[in-house]
Structure 1
Amino acid sequence: MPRVRELEVFRLVLPYGRRTESLLVKLTDYAGMTGWGEALAPQPKTWAQLEESLGAQLIGVDWEHPDAVPISDPAVDMACWDLWTRMRGVPLAEAIGGTRTSLVATVRLEPDPSLESLVSRVNQQVCAGYGHVTLDVRPGWDVEPVRAVRLAYPALTLAVDGGCAYSEGGQLAALDSYGVEVIERPFPIGDVYAHAALQDQVTASVAVEVRSPAELDDYLTLRAGRVLLLRPTAFRSLSEVRRTHDRAAAAGWDIQCAGGQGAGLARAATVAVASLPGCTLPCDVTQPPRNNQIVTPIVGANGGVVAVPLTQAGLGHVIDEARVHRMAKDSFRA
């Protein structure tokens, strides 16, 4: 039975893109075993709440399963799962019901200043082994880039991600002419009716993103899509992630697991979830640059394939603690 002797919390500034933040939690039990978790872009109040209450709720408290820990925080939940599975010598993927040893990956390409440059970047990824490409599209940058890529690569499996930026589906419906397999996140999260209307217009599968099993139920009721974009870091716990996966799979939906941000731990949890039997579409753990991770081995694709670490307990990665301390903007110990 786990009992935490010490905990440490780190707030990292991630050195890429908009320099977003990541919150890491390290739990150490009385035998010296550790578990790590990560939350992405934590709210300021999250840090204050953790510093004030985390130690009192966890230190010296017995718990038999991560679900029994009385803290609703994704980083703490992940750290508890990592510690719990390490104590049992079981990989996290196996503990939550994963069955795959490797995953097919998609590669995500952001909008480009020119169509020629975009096609060249697609060529680089195809040559690197990717057979599935996801193009980020936005209003005004959608039909033309998809057409250009399709003309250059008639057999390539293509998906597009609208980034929740659209208010109506006319331009997205036009993508049906170019054999797009999935249209991800076309409208703001929660706009169930807009997703349902688009799914009625297109043969491509509309992919929706939710943050709880209850939110998914609304989409299932209205048949507002056929793909669940499952982002584990958006949920309060891995058990909630598993329940959402189960509901989508039972409804006959495909599932794509995504989570390419963070310092490596969140990606590792994403890979574990993507090994679940219902995750039928290529996973997305390709961004940002791999050399910004604090885990060994790094989490990413090699030749369009991601390995699931089923020979190592827990998340399956070693933490570079020296780098964690160098990147930490703030930290505390309890």
Structure 2
Amino acid sequence: MKIKSIRSYLVNLPLITPFKTSYGELHEKKCDIIIVTDELGNEGYGELVAFETPDYVSETLDTERLIISKDIIPLLINKKIKHPEVVTELLKPVKGHWMGKSAVETAIWDLYAKRQHVSLSELFHSQSKHLVVGVSVGIQEDLDLLLEQVGNYVEAGYDRVKLKIKPGYDYEPLRVIKEAYPNIMLMADANSAYTLKDINQLKKLDTLNLMMVEQPFSTDDFLDHAILAKEIETPICLDENIRSVEDCKLVVALGSAHAINLKIPRVGGITEAQKIVAYCLDQGLLVWLGGMLESGVGRALNLQFASQAGFGFPGDISATSRYFHQDVINEEFILHNGCLPVPQGIGIGVTLNKEVLGI
């Protein structure tokens, strides 16, 4: 296929409920929908999911927009591409900027599947048409409101709950949830809010029998996580500092974690993500799929990717109604018995709501 154009459309999606983490609070999700067109007029869809500020990782919407327009697009326009796996090689001159690369690379995967008249999940050798999924809950200082919120999710069918934590807001809210709902799979996500000096506080979490604690330390740390792993019983999961399969190799070498939260945009796209899945399965590392408050475009991709063998742990791929009043796609992902359907149409299996995009 020959790439003829790469266009982007800014979308601003107000959140149904503000989402608070250790590093900030979101009231709306801004993203860019990427449309890649080939010489036959076929279109592939991707999503630039980077946040507006560099508090999760270094990439932001503005930086990745610049890199896409100035550096990525010139490397791909009018290029003949036999398979989307070659995109990673074509983009090697651009160092870093994984989220910008992923936005375009995933759109090309969608385009490729559409040219083959197959669902993208078929290229992933999908194992399931329905996925058990989890929900991520932001920081809620009022514990009564927190319990009400978690209760609503449990009633909706979510069996796995992840709570955002920070110093001063960790043991007690987790204890309250565990006491009220002892049978749910409960985990914590620190988003790099702690350091080694907080090790005694993190040890307290051992009494709660959590599934795991995610990214307690810095986004570029592996060594301190390895030290912590020897001191606590709660399994450690790494997120922000996993940008490639090489990082996973470092995790294994140092013993930094027991699990990997894999986010396709954070590692530059599907090709690298597949390498990480294969490596984790080979090494016995639990790998599961995280989320970035994606629109329906990114959520459709996540559902298809996580439907392949190796993803047994519920990912952060919640229903449409968890986040948005109005999405960018015409379809809606509805939770049923704790599961979401894997899109079965060609490509990522969804269609764009062009009115929302202003096309």
Query: Secondary structure of the equivalent of 2:9?
Result: strand
Deviation at 1:160, TM superposition (A): 0.8
Contact 1:268 1:315 in 2 (8 A): yes
Superposed CA deviations along residues 78-109 of structure 1, whole A, max 9, x for unmatched, are 11100000111222122133322221111111
Equivalence for 1:163: 191
* Inter-partner Cα distance in structure 1 for 2:67 and 2:318: 32
Distance 1:65 1:134, change over 3 A: same
Deviation at 1:67, TM superposition (A): 2.2
Superposed CA deviations along residues 185-224 of structure 1, whole A, max 9, x for unmatched, are 1112231122222222333221112111111111111111
Equivalence for 1:215: 247
* Inter-partner Cα distance in structure 1 for 2:339 and 2:251: 30
Alignment pair present for 1:71 and 2:91: yes
Deviation at 1:18, TM superposition (A): 4.8
Contact 2:2 2:80 in 1 (8 A): yes
Contact 2:157 2:335 in 1 (8 A): no
Match of 1:199 among 229, 232, 238: 229
Equivalence for 1:177: 207
User: Aligned letter for 1:231?
Assistant: K
Alignment pair present for 1:6 and 2:5: yes
What are the equivalent positions in structure 2 for 1:303-322 lying under 5 Å apart?
303-309=337-343, 311-322=344-355
**What TM-score, normalized to structure 1?**
0.89
Alignment pair present for 1:294 and 2:328: yes
**What TM-score, normalized to structure 2?**
0.83
User: Aligned letter for 2:62?
Assistant: P
Deviation at 1:260, TM superposition (A): 4.1
Query: Secondary structure of the equivalent of 1:207?
Result: strand
Contact 1:38 1:265 in 2 (8 A): yes
User: Aligned letter for 1:89?
Assistant: H
Distance 1:56 1:192, change over 3 A: closer
Contact 1:193 1:224 in 2 (8 A): yes
* Inter-partner Cα distance in structure 1 for 2:169 and 2:298: 30
User: Aligned letter for 1:86?
Assistant: K
* Inter-partner Cα distance in structure 2 for 1:46 and 1:191: 24
Equivalence for 2:134: 106
Deviation at 1:113, TM superposition (A): 2.3
Equivalence for 2:219: 189
* Inter-partner Cα distance in structure 1 for 2:146 and 2:111: 43
**5+ residue gaps in structure 2?**
16-25, 51-59, 93-100
Alignment pair present for 1:21 and 2:21: no
Deviation at 1:163, TM superposition (A): 1.4
User: Aligned letter for 2:65?
Assistant: W
Distance 1:220 1:55, change over 3 A: closer
* Inter-partner Cα distance in structure 1 for 2:3 and 2:303: 26
Contact 2:262 2:287 in 1 (8 A): yes
Contact 2:166 2:193 in 1 (8 A): yes
* Inter-partner Cα distance in structure 2 for 1:68 and 1:252: 28
**5+ residue gaps in structure 1?**
327-334
Deviation at 1:300, TM superposition (A): 5.9
Percent same amino acid at aligned positions? Answer: 24
Match of 1:34 among 30, 43, 46: 43
* Inter-partner Cα distance in structure 2 for 1:64 and 1:50: 21
Deviation at 1:231, TM superposition (A): 0.8
Give the number of aligned pairs: 324
